[in-house]
Structure 1
């Protein structure tokens, strides 16, 4: 075997007697580390002059080739974790966790599905561990509010939280805590605060440098304004009233009713031309009454978790299932190539590998602590959105008072998160195209259309004046400063007692609702599907096509059929254990299996 570099023969690398190979073929193997490579088996023109008597594998006829063996049989023989994560669109931590829990997952798959389960979160193990969890929450909150972080402020906060938490523990946890640089380095690495320098001294210089590099990159790569997007997450206290108002004071005294503190998280954004993406909303409730039924017709993409905060998994969910499909449609409708550039800040919940998921979407991260200076969505769009949200809420309160003679207190008590979601849609719609284009002035001034630019402060002030006027109709003596505080309420730093309170709420045992699988309902569902397949069989003259569709439908429904059969078996066993009695009409109907036998069955349930 010969070895060549850039077409130059390096001589014999290995010598193997043909007789020792027998009928076995040699397959190419490439071992690499921290690099990418490209292989030409003959599909492209030669990159270099091939060696004498060298033949590309791709030029050999199929009859002259040998089929390769089976793929890797075990995880140890499989691809690297990074490759699996990329191909399966999963985070590295998710793949690692799956590998680690391989046996548990396998046992769970073999075991029957649990119909009712209880989730118990990990209990406290000590003030140090609990302090670090609270510190993560505080830091993520500060980063989201674009508040500068430094090593000294983080160390001081850690020490304050630790001392506060020690009061809740006995004397066995009386060790002192020193927020040293070594501790901070371990903490930062463990909790994945990537690319966060925790210093704002050079923020302006870093922002200016990034702007120059970013502009050159856009011009060199040929990105169009419609292909450049930015998104940012923000918290919304959807039911908060001015702190001095009687409603706010009464709400604070109501036991277990702190809706004035109730917060949801939104991911909002758009592109340079002014196009706005559909909002992505995160709230802590999975059950929202009528909302659950119409989730897919809302003005937002709705997701939930206990903290009502963005996580890496939720962001990947948004990226793959919301962002990419929407921008694909946008590019097709506007006849521009599907070649997207997404600008993000350095928040820990934005995975660094997110740009590897789709080859047509490149992700660029802003330098740390520059979001308040150059992140587009922070240049007025979020403030305008929240001002419009408040204006809509106060307008509805005035309308309820005029048309239904409803007091403000009654309106506030009846105002639900569904009303908030509808208001989010209205407020986001009112944010103008000019605003969404003007917010790019600090990052891409050359693409801002307006000569005067977008006056973010002036626009918000005008909305605030309207809110003050609406407040007077509700007997609220509002001032513009009150409105500004409501809009900027997320900028208030979380205190130690707030962080501890949030953590205690998360530690509560949460029971999952029972699955709504019943024998009767599943039998009716299967019967409806069978009936539909009969109709298709009568309409489709292509028997081969129908048979393929029928097989596909049955394969998709296989998991539900397993659940159905297990439920029926349990019901039969339970009935056999009881004294004999005459079955009711309802029980006879439940036990009818005829409609599930085959598509040719004529029985309907």
Structure 2
């Protein structure tokens, strides 16, 4: 009986939940921003003594560089494994952003490859060290729990992909016939990463750039979302996402973002997010395709084809404005994008070749018409505004024939002359090589093809490390901005805003009660609410959303 009672009491003991290093750093940050210990304890569901203990050790905690989900760094957990997991998360995010579904086996193989490469760079490490990390099932389960990844498939029959793609193609063609869509009404969209300031590896400029330390991938990388119809005569304004909202070159060149030939948006990682995608749909895609169809005297009915990338919300049709409910969405099957996505069938590749041609042409024009050397132009005068002009020129240069022919695999009936042999576009690569040699650059066709392919392939280990460093710098910059805002007179707390709302409500009640013209008061109050108070409602809403996000992240971590 006593044994049973003791067992029951033991089962009733609450298991101690460890706080991750990442969360500890968040707690320190919030306290330094002015948040009270009691409020932090309430936010994280911890005792005030626990929070105080963390704050006392803040200097030691700051020095820790742990992967996501790790609760403590011990001698048993080598630093190289921390680095592997941090780089692995960045690699997984890149795969996810591209719409690729990764398997457990794929992740473990990448982890071992990262470990081997990082170990090889450490002095005094032997082959035994390289083989000490097995990327076992136990490690993977712990990594998955710590990092919170949840989109991993355990096993995958890759040989079935081609068969599944063929099945989808048959179903898609039958769907086109049954619904009566014309090639003018069917659009596809897809994202791609562009290293806008990159030369072929063998040029002396590329060698000089690669020799410089620093986070180049973040600075020189942007994401473009392209969209066009199957007929090939309607190209929608692209969405461009960069890591900076207002690059320095914008001020220098007096750029008005609303006048650009792309929809300019930004976030710290330079990725398309669901929110940005929905904005592009409602502000750019919807109005553009509606105008196009009306001008063609065609029924206002549109099908948008896209992959299952995280940036493409599955409930997109619910986010459409009422005037764009004529847009229907169809998703490509998972992991079949390279086989079926029309924009992946030489369209994006052709754009990147045309971009490289425009880049070389710009370099040639400047060095031929000014006293600047190529190195001087590249170092001091080539910036993102130059790139925007080249992006516009390259996208404009993608022909109707290229866009229409890209549907050959998925919807061959819509391709003009689909039963004829396809004649390739003019040799753009030859023109690039010719321009390069004119400027004294050592380039050939393989160099150009390699440059185009680099924009499609996954990042190398060195680039992953650069990207990790760049992301850390972005976070530090954001923290610095928050601290700067805190020290200004304009910094507001949620309590101050709530207090102001109560005062405004009391004032409204007083005026409504004692003013003789009730209708006049109501109109005045509504006008003030719309034009002034809405600003503070938005601030409070963002604060509450951030608090809700913080709480959710804490629960996930704990």
TM-score bracket, shorter-length normalisation: 0.5 to 0.7
Residue 454 of structure 1 deviates from its aligned partner by 8.4
* CA distance 1:266–1:348, change in 2 (3 Å): same
Residue 139 of structure 1 deviates from its aligned partner by 3.3
Residue 135 of structure 1 deviates from its aligned partner by 3.2
Residue 279 of structure 1 deviates from its aligned partner by 0.9
- What's 2:465 paired with? 500
Q: How does 1:306-385 map to 2 (within 5 A)?
A: 306-358=268-320, 359-385=325-351
2:246 corresponds to 1:287: yes
* CA distance 1:355–1:197, change in 2 (3 Å): farther
1:90-143 deviation digits (Å, cap 9, x = unpaired):
xxxxxxxxxxx9x99xxxxxxxxxxxxxxxx99855466676664343235346
2:235 corresponds to 1:276: yes
Secondary structure of 1:507's match?
helix
Match of 1:229 among 157, 179, 187: 187
2:192 corresponds to 1:218: no
Residue 420 of structure 1 deviates from its aligned partner by 0.4
2:397 corresponds to 1:430: yes
* CA distance 1:452–1:489, change in 2 (3 Å): farther
Contact 1:240/1:260, CA 8 A, preserved across alignment? no
* CA distance 1:350–1:147, change in 2 (3 Å): closer
* CA distance 1:145–1:197, change in 2 (3 Å): farther
Contact 2:216/2:466, CA 8 A, preserved across alignment? no
- What's 2:111 paired with? 158
Residue 421 of structure 1 deviates from its aligned partner by 0.9
* CA distance 1:239–1:561, change in 2 (3 Å): closer
Structure 2 Cα separation of the partners of residues 334 and 449 of structure 1 = 19
Residue 162 of structure 1 deviates from its aligned partner by 6.6
- What's 1:11 paired with? none
Contact 1:284/1:304, CA 8 A, preserved across alignment? yes
Which has the larger displacement, 552-561 or 476-485? 552-561
* CA distance 1:482–1:214, change in 2 (3 Å): same
Contact 1:148/1:198, CA 8 A, preserved across alignment? no
Secondary structure of 1:268's match?
strand
Residue 353 of structure 1 deviates from its aligned partner by 2.1
- What's 2:263 paired with? 301
1:204-247 deviation digits (Å, cap 9, x = unpaired):
10111001111222222232222211111111111111112111
Residue 393 of structure 1 deviates from its aligned partner by 1.1
TM-score by length of 2: 0.64
Match of 1:183 among 136, 141, 159: 141
Match of 1:398 among 360, 364, 378: 364
Contact 2:200/2:451, CA 8 A, preserved across alignment? yes
- What's 1:557 paired with? 531
* CA distance 1:281–1:401, change in 2 (3 Å): same
Contact 1:242/1:248, CA 8 A, preserved across alignment? yes
Structure 2 Cα separation of the partners of residues 250 and 138 of structure 1 = 26
Contact 2:238/2:262, CA 8 A, preserved across alignment? yes
Match of 1:141 among 87, 94, 97: 94
Q: Which of structures 1 and 2 has the bigger CA Rg?
A: 1
Structure 1 Cα separation of the partners of residues 408 and 295 of structure 2 = 26
- What's 1:463 paired with? 428
- What's 1:247 paired with? 205
* CA distance 1:182–1:258, change in 2 (3 Å): closer
* CA distance 1:347–1:381, change in 2 (3 Å): same
TM-score by length of 1: 0.59
Which has the larger displacement, 488-497 or 198-207? 488-497
Contact 1:196/1:368, CA 8 A, preserved across alignment? no
Structure 1 Cα separation of the partners of residues 201 and 309 of structure 2 = 30
Residue 256 of structure 1 deviates from its aligned partner by 3.5
Secondary structure of 2:305's match?
strand
Pairwise CA RMSD: 4.1
Contact 1:145/1:490, CA 8 A, preserved across alignment? no
Contact 1:158/1:179, CA 8 A, preserved across alignment? no
Secondary structure of 2:246's match?
coil
* CA distance 1:133–1:443, change in 2 (3 Å): farther
Structure 2 Cα separation of the partners of residues 226 and 391 of structure 1 = 30
Contact 2:102/2:153, CA 8 A, preserved across alignment? no
Secondary structure of 2:193's match?
strand
Contact 1:269/1:276, CA 8 A, preserved across alignment? yes
Contact 2:194/2:222, CA 8 A, preserved across alignment? yes
Task: Judging by fraction of residues, say which structure has more helix.
Answer: 2
Contact 2:217/2:466, CA 8 A, preserved across alignment? no
- What's 2:445 paired with? 480
- What's 2:513 paired with? none
Contact 1:140/1:347, CA 8 A, preserved across alignment? no
Secondary structure of 2:417's match?
coil
- What's 1:203 paired with? 161
Residue 183 of structure 1 deviates from its aligned partner by 2.6
Structure 2 Cα separation of the partners of residues 217 and 252 of structure 1 = 50
Secondary structure of 1:557's match?
helix
